Amino acid sequence: MGNLEASELIVNPDKSIYHLHLLPEQIAEDIIVVGDPQRVEVISNYFDKIEFKVSNREFVTHTGYLNGHRISALATGIGTDNIDIVMNELDALVNIDLANRKIYENKRSLNIIRLGTSGALQENIPVDSFVFSEYGLGLDGLLNFYAESDKVIDKAFTKAFIKEMQWDANLAKPYVVKCSKNLEDKIGAGLLKGITATASGFYGPQGRSLRLGLAINQLNEKLSKFNYQNKQITNFEMETSAIYGLGAMLGHNTATVCAIVANRYTKTFSSDYKATVVRLIELILERICD
């Protein structure tokens, strides 16, 4: 295999990777990813020692130690377009020799755990509760750009969803990818589990209408009624399907746990969602680092 060209693998003059601005030694094997850049400091405030703080654009990374366990917290910003950057560049940091522009023969796997905020689609999932994403249901279309997506998408599940929902052909083709079993076992115990729908926007793509009308009739009602092998679509957010899909294709372990800040059925929003996010961070840090 030839060297990766300058326009394809972009390395900054300081030898860091293009958007994340990170060097390979600046990330841990266990990485918590969050949408909100300010959440990174909320997480790293729990670290006993901080080794690196790096930021570029919305991509803020803090790496340090908690209970002797090396860990990174990294902000992805919002959306699967950002996840495409984050997952490919994290993978490049561990699986590509950036100096020689060559893919290493022996590949490394990262544990990538998303802690997000999310809107519940079911009446019985209250605000301020937590949901573990057993599956990511991509309504964003990102994975369809990759040849290897065929190997990681749950095709029967995806087909059933498209058929039952009578999915509009003008929208991106949906895809379903499962979380990693080892991370589900490590951090998912006792949590409500479900299918997380990843949307390509916060408003129209999640059935929200402020001044603009919606093209898809009763999207949320239909999603909440969908059932596949006794599994329901529990919640909406904007990153998980791409994290699961790219992680599976690149050989990394992935899982998402969300703090439910809105309930779309009861039309409620948390009165203090940041406190709920803090509780989620404490729970998951304990499960990763103890």
Number of residues that bind ligand URA (CB under 6 A): 10
Is 200 a binding residue for ligand URA by CB under 6 A? The answer is: no
Q: Which residues bind ligand R1P (CB under 6 A)?
A: 34-36, 78, 116-117, 202, 237-239
Q: Helix, strand or coil for residue 193? A: strand
134 binds, among ligand R1P, ligand URA, none (CB under 5 to 8 A by kind): none
Nearer to ligand URA, 119 or 136 (CB): 119
Q: What is the DSSP letter of 82?
A: H
Which listed range, 7-15, 113-121, 168-176, 214-222, lies at the site for ligand URA (CB under 6 A)? 113-121
What does the alpha-carbon distance between residue 13 and residue 141 come to, in Å, rounded to a whole number?
Answer: 33
Shortest approach of ligand URA to residue 74 CB, angstroms?
18
Is 219 a binding residue for ligand URA by CB under 6 A? The answer is: no
What does the alpha-carbon distance between residue 273 and residue 275 come to, in Å, rounded to a whole number?
Answer: 5
Q: Left if phi > 0, otherwise alpha if psi is -120 to 50, otherwise beta: which for 260?
A: beta
Which listed range, 12-20, 116-124, 128-136, 168-176, lies at the site for ligand URA (CB under 6 A)? 116-124
Among 17, 96, 237, 250, binds ligand URA (CB under 6 A): 237
What does the alpha-carbon distance between residue 222 and residue 235 come to, in Å, rounded to a whole number?
Answer: 13
Do β-strands 69-75 and 59-66 pair in parallel, antiparallel, or remain unpaired? antiparallel
What does the alpha-carbon distance between residue 8 and residue 288 come to, in Å, rounded to a whole number?
Answer: 34
Shortest approach of ligand R1P to residue 229 CB, angstroms?
25
